[in-house]
Amino acid sequence: MIGPMTLRFEGKTMSLRSLRAVAAAAVIGLGALAGAGGALAAGGEGAQEGGAHHTPQPPMQKWTFWGPFGKFDPAQLQRGFKIYKEVCSSCHSLSLVSFRNLMEPGGLGFNEGQARAIANEYEVQDGPNDQGEMFTRKARLSDAFPKAFPNEQAARAANGGAYPPDFSLLAKARTYERGFPWFLWDIFAQYQEQGPDYIHALLVGYEEPPAGATPAAANLHYNKYFPNHWIAMAKPIQDGQVEYTDGTPTTVDQYGKDVAAFMMWAAEPHLAARKATGFVVLIWLLVFGSLVYLVKKRIWAGAKPKPIA
């Protein structure tokens, strides 16, 4: 009679029944961990929802630069740049972006003459000269956008103690976790636009605080999408504040989308080139892998496996 199936590991024999018992115990253990994690998550969410100030998740927006083939809309970037110049630049710097970036392909779509004209609107410090003194001059294409304040102390003094962050990388630095199961969708769909989603939500999230909500300090403003809801920056823009010449609606919602797209470009000006290069590399890897497989099949076609005693 044939006995029970056995497996041999490093000289030790384990029956199939024992192996099934070990697997069942592992599944039960994983289920217990998942249940505990779910209970903790539900408890945390319940505590937030039960409290007076639950932070909602920023809604997803439809961005032209989303996905493996996405790219920036030059018209939208120019509108966002206009908002930055007229509203944001008085407090927020753009110190890692140069004027020459404005005319690079895949970006705002300015030509060299337009980029030079924009640079001439700014003055930068240079020097020292032959007398050892610093001086100011008109900006060139090679210069970066000048900082809004000479130092952090001056910025804090002008903003009630708060330090306005630099816009250069803010769209990459500000993000949020979307949780299960959305993070799986983000992995497969290559959705990396949580930063612009958050920036747009922040700009449209100013509202009157709920009853009983009080700020921890003076001169704070309620924003339902900001962590802890109280932010030092007052509502920066209103409907109709910035005029568009292309017929685009002049609403806070549209302003938020345009400036968020511009900030994403500032954080990654070569996004379109990166995606195009990545696609070419994937095609090359697919072709190369196929050739390697065919060569392997050709070389080992006549080899026969030896029977195992």
Give 108-162 pLDDT, tens digit per residue: 999 999 999 999 999 999 989 888 899 999 999 999 999 999 999 999 999 999 9
Range of the domain at 211: 74-97+148-275
User: What's the pLDDT at 163?
Assistant: 96
Q: For residue 18, what pLDDT band results from cuts at 50, 70 and 90?
A: low
Domain membership flag for residue 27? no
| Integer Cα distance of 300 and 176 in angstroms | 51
Residue 215 tokens, joined: 């700020």
Quick check: 40 pLDDT over 50? no
Domain membership flag for residue 64? no
Domain membership flag for residue 123? no
Q: Report the predicted TM-score, pTM, of the whole model to 2 decimal places.
A: 0.78
**What percent of the chain shows pLDDT beyond 90?**
65
Residue 281 tokens, joined: 């590399």
Alpha-helix runs per DSSP H in the chain: 16-50, 74-83, 112-119, 152-158, 170-173, 182-189, 194-204, 252-267, 271-299
Domain membership flag for residue 240? yes
Query: Could you tell me whether strands 6-9 and 123-126 are parallel, antiparallel, or unpaired per DSSP bridges?
Result: unpaired
**Are the C-beta atoms of 141 and 98 separated by less than 8 Å?**
yes
pLDDT tens-digit profile of 214-242?
A: 888 888 999 999 999 999 999 999 999 99
User: What's the pLDDT at 180?
Assistant: 81
176 vs 106, residue with greater confidence: 106
Quick check: 5 pLDDT over 80? no
Counting every residue written for the chain, the total comes to: 309
User: What's the pLDDT at 43?
Assistant: 38
CATH number reported for the structural domain that contains residue 160 in this entry:
1.10.760.10
Domain membership flag for residue 84? yes
**Region 268-279: what's the mean pLDDT?**
94
| Integer Cα distance of 159 and 155 in angstroms | 6
Domain membership flag for residue 242? yes
Domain membership flag for residue 235? yes
HEC string of 175-196? CCCCCCCHHHHHHHHCCCCHHH
| Integer Cα distance of 68 and 55 in angstroms | 30
Domains in the chain: how many in total?
Answer: 1
Domain membership flag for residue 249? yes
**Are the C-beta atoms of 250 and 244 separated by less than 8 Å?**
yes
Angle (CA) 36 42 43, round 5°: 85
